Structure 1
Amino acid sequence: MSTASHFQPISVRDYLDGEQQAKRKHEYVAGDIYAMAGGTVQHNRIASNATGALFAQLRGQRCQVFNSDMKVRVRLSSGTRFYYPDVSVVCQPNPPSETFQDAPVVIIEVVSDSTRRTDEYEKREAYLSIDSLCVYVLIEQNAALALVYRRADSGFDREVIQGARSVILLPEIGCELALEDVYQNVEFQSADPDEEA
């Protein structure tokens, strides 16, 4: 006989109501909620740089960029999920009274050691199931590197964008992200020479 606790799943409505009152953000996966840890200065700087670059290019356009305060709802056969991507671009936004978006075209996550597994597997699988999504970008925190999953006829193709002078082309929204802009004021930690010995 199992001694593990059994918790009742939380309804979507209770999660959304609770999230409006919460002091910390939580993500929701099919009835379970997970508190989000705060990001580092490096993480926030990269996410803010990407948001700012896209905002400047989308000003006055139909598509809008959102920061990590906007949830994205993903409806899967295994249950509804709500995530807070670092950056999202939506061209058909939900009504202004909603606290989430259903139809992102671009989603960007800044990857760290603590979020890598979730961003590269769980969230990627969920995000790529969204019909409106054209591009999912994973931006590394400790190197000038991005993985781009772009919708193609047969699913999603994977591209590697590497080097500070590289550019992530986003013709789907009429934008581009230069890595030198994304990593502005970001200092990569060099390896400790004592650790290499």
Structure 2
Amino acid sequence: MLSDDLFDTDPQLLNRVVKGDEAAFRTLFHQYWDHIYTVAFTFTKSDTLSEELVQDIFLKIWIGREKLDGVASFSNYLFIVARNHILNQLRKKVYEVPFREQVLAYFAADDNPEQYVQNRQVGELVERGIALLSPQQQAVYRMSRQQGMNQDEIAAALGISVSTVKTHMSKALYALREFLKSHSGDAVGLIALLSHFL
């Protein structure tokens, strides 16, 4: 969370913003831009998207500037607005192929020890989720996602119908999604999990 101690935001500056003073708002914008950009980049790993999100966040602050009246800690207020906006946008963008590929490429990189640890943790978390599935669901999921088998091949290997394969896969994916959502505290990590493994 951002700290007011860093900036000691002047209440009078906020009051000017509330009253529609654009110069005061620009001062606020420049005061906090770097820090909100850092928060955005931590989640997105994208320079362009982070800059867009910062612009959107401050536009939202400006449009709803009357809400600043009486805010005790502007930095905390701004952080909450930024976090909520970033997460909402990520939930939408996870379904956009270019963005999903960009995030996955970041997690797939081999030259960063931190990313290596994240990748390993992702794999371990997925394995924990798979272990909670029924034996049949585990078999269908592993054949599909880890062995690259299609539904007809899975059905033949397990001696079940294609319809039953679809049912097991659907239930497995739902259970894994719920497990991962409840165990991933990092938005980007969650995106990588849902996109790569599901």
With normalisation by structure 1, the TM-score equals: 0.23
Greater share of strand:
1
Higher helix share: 2
For the pair shown, the structure with the greater C-alpha radius of gyration is 2
Instruction: With the length of structure 2 as denominator, give the TM-score of the two structures.
Output: 0.22
